[in-house]
Amino acid sequence: MEIPKGNLTGLRNNFPADLLSGFLVFLIALPLCLGISLACGYPAISGIFTAIIGGLVVTFFSNSELTIKGPAAGLIVIAIGCVTEFGFTGGKDPTADYQAYRLALGVGVAAGILQILLGVFRAGILGEFFPTTAIHGLLAAIGVIIIAKQFPIMLGLSPEGKPLELLAKIPIFVMEMNPKIGFIGIISLLIMFGYTLIRNPRLKVIPAPMIVLVVAVPLGLFLKIGQEGTYTFHDRAYELGQKFLVDVPMNMFNAVTFPDFSGLTTVIGIKYVIMFAIIGSLESLLSAKAIDGIDPWGRKTNMDQDMVAVGIGNTLAAFIGGLPMISEIVRSKANIDNGARTRFANLFHGLFLLVFVALIPEVINRIPLAALGALLVFTGFRLAAPREFVHMYHLGKDQFIIFMSTIVGVLATDLLMGIAIGIGVKVIIHIINGAPILSFFKLNAEVIREDEHSATIVIRESAVFSTWIPLRKYLHRYLQEGKNVTLNFSETRLVDHTVMSKLYEWIMEFEEHDCELFVRGLAEHEPMADSIVAAQVKRVRN
């Protein structure tokens, strides 16, 4: 089977498939870009700018063939936190909101430049450092926050309070919802959940987010929700008006906004540059890696190059008023499902967005905010789905504790502190299970045998998330040399879940290259759960 190439020949040979997929992904991206922008406290057009840059520019710098670049729900919490700390008022003071937005754009430009530097200095391996359970906890916490913030918007209300407070108020929001707005929001949410129950692929040609718009826009016109005034329902008056609809300029170029860099000299600015760069890069790397795993042609992304590409995209997007971008997992998965073959599907998705927003912005201005809120509630649910909690529990009680600690830490503090809490809990659990403190900082490994065809490595003390990168270097080197590798863990006290899950991936990687990776010496270890990737703790002999 010939591997499609992302060059001019590939563009010509794969044009029909990539064009179709780009169009279908555009149908998904349009409402999500608008919804994510508004949830971030940015103008609605900001996410469109980002996706256009991600398609028309980043395509030519990245070698990731099937990922779609654009704004992501996972960065909502950082973006809204940034503008809020810079003085965002949620519409109460438009002047203050505009200045907060410009300061956030300055942060975005600096974060993009930092990402470029990380890629140039080969920091694409960053995604290998963080423990997988803490990352899952981080994403689940982001999902919970998105649900908490967007649920009242879906019902025509304004969210006031922290995420846990908003979650506790959900019954109150239901009782106090604006009936016409809430009706559109609830119908939209039912469409999103109902779409997942459809099994016939022929009935799923049009993406669910676009179906939501096809239903919500005419419904909003019928209910006249954009008409200024009030209406009475059960002896109570409710508002209607343009504030319940999306607002984008009739000329998109009038919305171009340049950043204010003065915030970069403040503690707030420095903090959010780091958060955008680290969390954004981590999400992007994990998404690109996940898409590589389901690429029908087995192509692999150069993570350093992709980080440089995303950094370039972020720098340009923020410079004209756009949101931060990543390699977005949901749209990328849809890209594969729609039959994309090369990176030019990403290009076409950006091109369709540009044409649509430039030519018919009046259609966008008919979209009810409640429908976009419903899309994001569904997105948040997917990030924090009950099956994710069940999956973590099945990986072992230790992993579930780490997972829940990260979620609680994020909800109680912020993203960086939350993931630090999750990592801290993981370290404590490892120490309790016998991992020496020094083994968190240095891998104790020795190559005891090596010849032309194979190598044997003995790992001592422990193999944990913080020393996975040096162990990975051994595996990468021998894989490049085409050698079989045996890892002997008989002298370790602990092999944690992160290492076990990554070793399982590398076993398959070796098989793809006609080599073998053998994991030995775990006979005296006990798994902490039934999963094949559960942490392994050495039995203590009496």
**Per-residue pLDDT tens for 152-177?**
999 999 878 888 899 999 999 999 99
534 and 490 fall within a common domain: yes
**Cβ atoms < 10 Å from Cβ of 130:** 21
64 and 101 fall within a common domain: yes
Strand 444-450, strand 229-233: pairing: unpaired
Residue 396 covered by a domain: yes
**Cβ atoms < 10 Å from Cβ of 331:** 26
pLDDT in tens, 363-389: 999 999 999 999 999 999 999 999 999
Whole-angstrom Cα distance, residue 132 to residue 122? Answer: 21
143 and 288 fall within a common domain: yes
Domain that holds residue 447: 437-538
425 and 447 fall within a common domain: no
Region 345-352: what's the mean pLDDT?
96
Residue 91 covered by a domain: yes
56 and 134 fall within a common domain: yes
- Domain stop point among 381, 398, 424: 381
| Residue 273: HSE in the Cβ half-sphere, 13 Å Cα cutoff | 22
- Domain stop point among 432, 466, 501: 432
pLDDT value at position 203? 79
| Whether the Cβ atoms of residue 123 and residue 284 lie closer than 8 Å to each other | no
Whole-angstrom Cα distance, residue 364 to residue 362? Answer: 5
40 and 157 fall within a common domain: yes
Region 444-470: what's the mean pLDDT?
93
Q: Token pair for residue 241?
A: 């008006």
Residue 2 covered by a domain: no
Rg (CA), the chain: 24
Residue 132 covered by a domain: yes
CA neighbor of 496 nearest in space, from 463, 455, 460, 459:
463
| Per-residue DSSP letter, 103 | H
Residue 164 covered by a domain: yes
> In the chain, how many domains are there?
3
Burial 525-537 (b: 16+ CB within 10 A, else e): bebbbebebbbbb
Region 303-326: what's the mean pLDDT?
95
pLDDT value at position 164? 86
Residue 1 covered by a domain: no
Q: Is the pLDDT of residue 93 over 90?
A: yes
194 and 278 fall within a common domain: yes
pTM to 2 decimal places: 0.90
16 and 161 fall within a common domain: yes
389 and 532 fall within a common domain: no
88 and 220 fall within a common domain: yes
126 and 91 fall within a common domain: yes
DSSP H or E stretch at residue 88: none
Residue 360 covered by a domain: yes
61 and 152 fall within a common domain: yes
Residue 3 covered by a domain: no
Strand 517-520, strand 536-538: pairing: unpaired
Whole-angstrom Cα distance, residue 157 to residue 486? Answer: 59
- Domain stop point among 393, 412, 432: 432
Instruction: Please state the length of the chain.
Output: 542
Q: Is the pLDDT of residue 542 over 70?
A: no
